[in-house]
Amino acid sequence: MATRMAATPPTLAGYSYVRPLGSGGFADVFLYEQDMPRRVAAVKVLLADAVNPEVLRTFNVEADISARLSAHPSIVTIYQASISADGRPYFAMEYCPDTMSARYKKAPLPLAEVLDIGVRIAGALETVHRAGLLHRDIKPSNVLINSLGAPVLADFGIAAAVIDEGDGETIAMSVPWSSPEVLQERVSGSVPSEVWSLGATLYTLLAGRSPFERADRGSNSRDQLTERIVKARYTAVPISGIPPIIDDIFATAMHRDPAKRPASMAEFAERLRWAQYELGIAPTAFEAASAEWAAAAPVSFSDSAVRGPVITTVAPDSRRAVRAARPQAAQRERDELPSTPRTRTRSPLVAGIIGAVIGAAALAAIGTVVLYVTGIL
């Protein structure tokens, strides 16, 4: 299948184009350098001919979810979202120079690193779930590696609410990491299906291939993979020296019955942390949003509007406007007061000195007159 060439990068105020990063079905990703503050950013831009209500809805959801969740250290950070000068929606996000998909294809990752990644991404997904959302596309290529070398979860393009309205929606899926119930279209996504996908992703990083792939590449067609995943017959990690506790964790996470998998990402993370402890590895901190945070600002899944720069206005009766108007009003009141001559007053000390000088001068004058009359002068 031929790769589509990237569209012309847009002109973005405050950004300088550097180079293309990749292309997808509906968008291109470019590397830009932001002028203020100075940093590089990955900018995802919708294709001009792909802008329709459904694509805009998906794009807005991805931008809103990323912005809502990006305070988590293991979720990619979004910087800005707007409309380019030529009318294409875009958003700028943290540039991550590598992906876990590229890494495991070079060589399987060490067990200690895989466990660390698992706890971090489980914390990110627990935060997603506490916000009432599902990722629905967990796989190695959606776990990026940021500039500090840390794993971050990305690509919320097909995310959904945990409570789906059941419209029979069929979503694009990544077969090697999808659960049986998703492949059979019994659900479009759920917390247990995401536990399966994270377990399959970690297995892939450790083994160098997905759990139900065969060494013979000719046996890994979409239909063959789907058939093996639906049967869910777990195969131990094909790497020597893997402790049994690791296969136990993966086998449970990828159990055919969703009810027998860990009930949440927090529970899955605790099993990974216990394995770290048992193997003498320092347990990774589990980080997830609090319940208070999760209750704020729900994401709308029906917004298909073209959103861009707006001019912020403040209503005249707002508190801020009233506070801002007070100094001006006071100044006007001072300017309107009638001007009156200023009466200067002297201090008692100055008045006393002046009085003493005048008194001395008067006495001297009287004395002179007396002397003159008596003939002395």
Tens-digit pLDDT profile for residues 264-283: 999 999 999 999 999 999 99
Q: How confident is residue 285, by pLDDT bands cut at 50, 70 and 90? A: very high
In the structure encoding, which two tokens stand for residue 40, read together? 């590089």
Is the pLDDT assigned to residue 348 strictly greater than 60?
A: no
Mean pLDDT of the chain: 83
Q: Determine the 3-state secondary structure of 104 from DSSP.
A: helix
Q: Has this prediction a pTM greater than 0.75?
A: yes
Average pLDDT over residues 341-349: 53
Query: Which residues lie across from 152 on neighbouring strands?
Result: 144
Q: How confident is the model at residue 298 (pLDDT cuts 50, 70, 90)?
A: low
What is the model's pLDDT at position 18? 97
Bridge-partner residues for 151, per DSSP? Answer: 145
Q: Is the confidence at residue 61, as pLDDT, over 50?
A: yes
Top mean pLDDT of 191-200, 323-332, 362-371 is at 191-200
pLDDT at 202 over 60: yes
| Amino acid identity, position 323 | R
* pLDDT at position 197 over 90: yes
Residue 172 confidence (pLDDT) above 60:
no
Question: Residue 372 pLDDT more than 60?
Answer: no
Cβ pair 229, 183 in contact under 8 A: yes
CA 156 – CA 299 distance, rounded (Å) = 12
Options 3.30.200.20, 3.40.50.620, 3.40.50.10540, 3.40.640.10; CATH for 15-94 is 3.30.200.20
Could you tell me which residue, 66 or 288, shows the higher pLDDT?
288
Q: Report the CATH number of the 98-294 domain.
A: 1.10.510.10
Cis peptide before 151 (omega within 30 of 0): no
Model confidence at 253, in pLDDT bands (50, 70, 90)?
A: very high
Q: Is 136 a catalytic residue?
A: yes
The vertex-268 CA angle with 264 and 269, nearest 5°, equals 115
Q: Is the pLDDT of residue 1 over 50?
A: no
Strand partners, 15: 34
Identify the residue with better confidence: 328 or 148: 148
Domain ranges of the chain: 15-94, 98-294
pLDDT score for 164: 46
pLDDT computed for residue 168 by the predictor? 41
Question: Whole-angstrom Cα distance, residue 253 to residue 251?
Answer: 6
Task: Say what the pLDDT of residue 20 is.
Answer: 95
User: Which one is catalytic: 136, 209, 261, 273?
Assistant: 136
Q: Which of 173, 112, 115 is nearest to 139 (CA)?
A: 173
Q: How far apart are CA 125 and CA 69, in angstroms?
A: 10
Rounded distance between C-alpha atoms, residue 205 and residue 100, angstroms: 7
* C-alpha distance from residue 337 to each of 324, 333, 340 (Å): 22, 7, 9
User: Average pLDDT, stretch 223-232?
Assistant: 95
What pLDDT score does 170 carry? 42
Return the percentage of the chain with pLDDT > 90, whole number: 54
The helix (run of H) or strand (run of E) holding residue 94 is strand 89-94
